[in-house]
């Protein structure tokens, strides 16, 4: 976008914005709220004004100003990256480097080298010299794609690898094999998973290192593939493997770094310590790996590798148990996790990660697999520990992502939700990719949703809760979606994959196969989720089995008489719509909206409602919720 004329309304707006940001440049807390207050506007009014005049969100404009200022400082001043990050209002040098790289297409550390003989250009308009000598082919392709797809796609596209990147890895990469549990107690599996996740998190903070966590490698490792086969499948250069043994208050951890191409061990190390020293052990392992893979570690790298969120070993152990239980995606697991996080917080009231995951556990109780709390009740409780978490650590990705979830599902505030999702996206937080991909599909920005799903696929190739299947479906790539789902089900037969697979089968007319998948979910999970009941009823209705559809409808209505948990009203409407009962479907959607059910953001993306989209009553509901036009 060209700069607006100085005398124009847009030009005057830009002058005001620039002056305020410049005045508050080093203040990392200066954001949307402060900007709106300083200009005498409400947040929503300023947002609309900026969108109309400049086609940008407020937070996007502030971030871009800071990054352009950083580029100028890097070229003109003899300062390191951390110093520049502070000067332009980034509290984290790592986040600054990531944002800079996403916006300009190269890291801030490369600016000094690129400055000589180069002509400065705006992102998206590279000069001939830059194109030929400095930027890789993938960045040029990204720029061309941006011109076609629009500014909303810039953020996602720069993250996606092209085919050349897949075979010519520009940065070192490592896969973490699940640590073996050598303890006599199988219940210590929470520790095995937790320590592996902590090491992956620390390594993921290094901008030029790709890390595939044990979440993805677990499926391949369980299939008895060799180290070389796993590295080849995940396209990684190195593999980290090891074991943990806990006995009393003592812990023994062994780790080894292997060359992924030939399986040769590069180094190995063991640690025999008291459990209370677990934080130092994690830091030492991550540091040893980082120094092996990188020729030089910056101060920001070293700081990130030595970060931990509590000094209380007992609180940390409770937190690890909570995360382990929550990721079982069961009612029992969510309830156990909730108690573990509360106990951890009692031991350390400044434990930001525990607060964040406590909020997550409340949302799990209202999710489609929890279905035991009304959505509004869960959301109102969940936001309290989330805000506390961000008060302690404003940059915590987990908390930002759940806060985005709150804005989306509680406030139906789509703009604020997206701002938080973008702040929460982190390559070691696969849940963030999934939730943001959902949001993009709600907005019918399906190309961007696919881009986010592909990014998740790159960072976590076998993440069990992938959104790739749905993103392919919404773009009409039905056979690809089905093939992807069937391939995954051969490796991991979990609820998430089966849910998405059944959804695509139902909405591509393969009703009998869909019915079979939904019935398998009930057998595996031993819970009749309202979501699956709704889709099963729709499959019966669409296939002409109306008596069975009516039985499902009655079951949902009986559930709804007890509670709206699990979005019973929404899925009753799904069955009614599939049966062709338009007015009854609209009446149940009205009930679901009045009860603020969890599934409401899916309103315009639920295929069973596609035939209702032109109905005035449906359009009125869409406007009421506030879906962006």
- DSSP per-residue codes, 83-128: HHHHHTT-S-HHHHHHHHHHHHSS-GGGHHHHHTTPPP--TT---H
Asked if 497 and 534 count as a contact pair (C-beta separation under 8 A), the reply is no
pLDDT at 428: 63
> Tokens 């701002």, residue?
419
Task: For 14-102, list the strands marked E by DSSP.
Answer: none
pLDDT at residue number 103: 82
Which residues, listed in sequence order, are joined to residue 267 by a DSSP beta bridge?
Answer: 257
> What's the pLDDT score for residue 112?
58
Sequence-separated (6 or more) residues with CB below 8 Å from residue 144: none
Contacts of 507 by beta carbon, 8 Å cutoff, 6+ apart = 473, 607, 608
DSSP string, 477-508: -HHHHHHHHHHHHHH---HHHHHHHHHHHHTT
End-to-end CA distance of the chain, in Å? 22
Among residues 312, 381, 299, 406, which one has the least CA distance to residue 353?
A: 312
- What are the phi and psi torsion angles at 211 (to 5°)? -120, 125
The whole-angstrom separation of Cα 87 and Cα 97 is 13
CATH assignment, 309-426:
1.25.40.10
Is 258 strand, coil or helix? Answer: strand
Residue 381 to residue 554: CA distance in whole angstroms: 31
Phi/psi for 173 (5° steps) reads -140, 150
Nearest-angstrom CA–CA distance, 322 and 191:
11
For the CA atoms of the chain, what is the radius of gyration?
25
Whose CA is closest to 308, among 316, 296, 300?
Answer: 316
φ, ψ at 254 (rounded to 5°) = -120, 135
Number of Cβ atoms within 10 Å of the Cβ of 370: 24
The token duo for 332 is: 């029992």
CB 431 within 8 A of CB 465: yes
Q: What is the pLDDT of residues 366-387, one digit of tens each?
A: 765 556 777 788 889 999 999 9
Taking the CA atoms of residue 492, residue 498, residue 500 and residue 506 in that order, the dihedral angle to the nearest 10 degrees is 150
Helix ranges (H only) for 393-509 are: 397-409, 414-424, 430-442, 446-459, 468-474, 478-491, 495-506
Give every CB contact of residue 321 below 8 A, 6+ residues apart in sequence. 190, 336, 337, 340
- Taking 70 as the pLDDT cut, the residues of the chain under it are 1-3, 5-7, 29, 33, 42-45, 47-48, 91-95, 112-171, 184, 295, 367-371, 427-428, 629
- CATH number of the 9-167 domain: 1.10.10.60
Q: Which residue in this structure is represented by tokens 């890097």?
A: 74
User: What does the alpha-carbon distance between residue 369 and residue 598 come to, in Å, rounded to a whole number?
Assistant: 12
Q: Give the pLDDT of residue 284.
A: 92
Do the strands 250-259 and 265-274 form a parallel or antiparallel pair, or are they unpaired?
antiparallel
- CA pair distance 546, 527, nearest whole angstrom: 23
CB 542 within 8 A of CB 506: yes
* pLDDT tens per residue across span 571-582: 999 999 999 999
d(CA 365, CA 363): 5
Which class would CATH give 173-305? alpha beta
Domain edges within the chain: 9-167, 173-305, 309-426, 528-629
Residue 107 has, within 13 A of its CA and on its CB side, a CA count of: 16
In angstroms, the Cα distances linking 480 to 93, 484, 501 are 40, 6, 11
Angle (nearest 5°) at CA 440 between 437 and 446:
95
Rounded to two decimals, what is the model's pTM? 0.67
Say if residues 165 and 137 touch (Cβ distance below 8 Å). no
Number of Cβ atoms within 10 Å of the Cβ of 196: 25
Residue 476, SS3? coil
Q: Which residue has the tokens 């400082």?
A: 73
Backbone torsions φ then ψ of 215, nearest 5 degrees: -60, -40
Angstrom distance (rounded) from CA 359 to CA 381: 7
Helix (H) or strand (E) holding 45: helix 43-54
In SS3 terms, 148-196 reads as HHCHHHHHHHCCCCCHHHHHCCCCCEEEECCCEECCCCHHHHHHHHHHH
Q: Distance (Å, rounded) from C-alpha 332 to C-alpha 42?
A: 43
- Helix (DSSP H) and strand (DSSP E) numbers for the chain: 33, 6
């Amino acid at each position: 976008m060209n700069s607006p004329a100085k005398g124009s309304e847009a030009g005057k707006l830009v002058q005001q914005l620039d002056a305020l940001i410049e005045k508050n440049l080093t203040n990392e807390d200066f954001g949307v709220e402060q900007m709106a207050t300083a200009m005498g506007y409400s947040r929503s009014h300023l947002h609309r004004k900026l969108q109309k005049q400049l086609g940008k969100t407020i937070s996007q404009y502030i971030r871009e100003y800071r990054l352009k200022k950083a580029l100028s400082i890097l070229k003109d001043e003899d300062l390191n990256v951390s110093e520049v990050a502070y000067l332009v209002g980034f509290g984290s040098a790592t986040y600054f480097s990531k944002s800079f790289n996403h916006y300009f297409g190269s890291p801030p550390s490369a600016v000094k080298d690129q400055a000589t003989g180069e002509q400065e250009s705006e992102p998206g308009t590279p000069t001939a010299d830059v194109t030929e000598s400095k930027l890789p082919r993938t960045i040029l392709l990204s720029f061309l794609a941006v011109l076609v797809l629009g500014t909303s796609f810039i953020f996602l596209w720069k993250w996606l690898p092209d085919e050349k990147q897949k075979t010519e890895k520009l940065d070192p990469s490592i896969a973490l094999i699940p640590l073996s549990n050598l303890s006599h107690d199988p219940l210590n599996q929470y520790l095995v998973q937790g320590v592996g996740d902590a090491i992956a998190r620390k390594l993921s903070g290094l901008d030029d290192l790709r890390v595939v966590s044990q979440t993805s490698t677990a499926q391949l490792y369980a299939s008895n593939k060799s180290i070389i086969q796993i590295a080849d499948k995940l396209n990684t250069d190195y593999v980290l493997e090891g074991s943990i043994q806990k006995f009393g208050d003592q812990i023994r951890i062994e780790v080894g770094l292997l060359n992924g191409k030939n399986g040769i061990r590069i180094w190995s190390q063991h640690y025999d310590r008291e459990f209370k020293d677990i934080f130092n052990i994690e830091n030492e392992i991550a540091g040893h790996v980082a120094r092996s893979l990188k020729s030089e570690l910056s101060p920001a790298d070293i700081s990130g590798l030595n970060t931990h969120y509590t000094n209380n070993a007992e609180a940390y152990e409770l937190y690890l148990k909570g995360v382990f239980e929550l990721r079982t995606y069961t009612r029992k697991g969510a309830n156990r996790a909730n108690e573990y996080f509360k106990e951890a917080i009692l031991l350390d009231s400044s434990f930001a990660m525990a607060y964040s995951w406590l909020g997550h556990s409340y949302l799990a109780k209202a999710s489609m697999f929890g279905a035991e709390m009304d959505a509004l009740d869960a959301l109102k409780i969940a936001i309290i520990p989330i805000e506390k978490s961000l008060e302690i650590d404003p940059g915590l990705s987990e908390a930002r992502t759940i806060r985005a979830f709150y804005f989306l599902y509680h406030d139906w505030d789509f703009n604020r939700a997206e701002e938080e999702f973008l702040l929460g996206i982190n390559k070691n937080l696969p849940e963030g990719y999934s939730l943001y991909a959902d949001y993009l599909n709600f907005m019918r920005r399906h190309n961007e949703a696919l881009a986010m799903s592909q990014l998740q696929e790159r960072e976590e190739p076998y993440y069990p809760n992938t959104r790739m299947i749905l993103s392919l479906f919404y773009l009409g790539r039905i056979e690809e979606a089905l093939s992807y789902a069937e391939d995954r089900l051969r490796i991991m037969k979990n609820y998430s994959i089966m849910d998405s697979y059944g959804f695509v089968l139902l909405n591509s007319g393969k009703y009998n196969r869909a019915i079979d998948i939904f019935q398998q979910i009930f057998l595996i999970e031993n819970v009749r989720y309202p979501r699956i009941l709704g889709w099963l009823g729709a499959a019966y209705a669409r296939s002409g089995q109306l008596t069975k559809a009516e039985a499902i409808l009655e079951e949902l209505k009986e559930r709804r008489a007890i509670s709206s948990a699990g979005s019973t009203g929404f899925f009753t409407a799904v069955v009614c719509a599939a049966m062709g009962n338009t007015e009854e479907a609209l009446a149940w959607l009205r009930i679901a909206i009045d009860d603020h059910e969890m599934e409401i953001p899916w309103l315009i993306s639920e295929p069973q409602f596609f035939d209702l989209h032109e109905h005035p009553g449906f359009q009125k509901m869409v406007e009421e919720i506030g879906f962006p036009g």
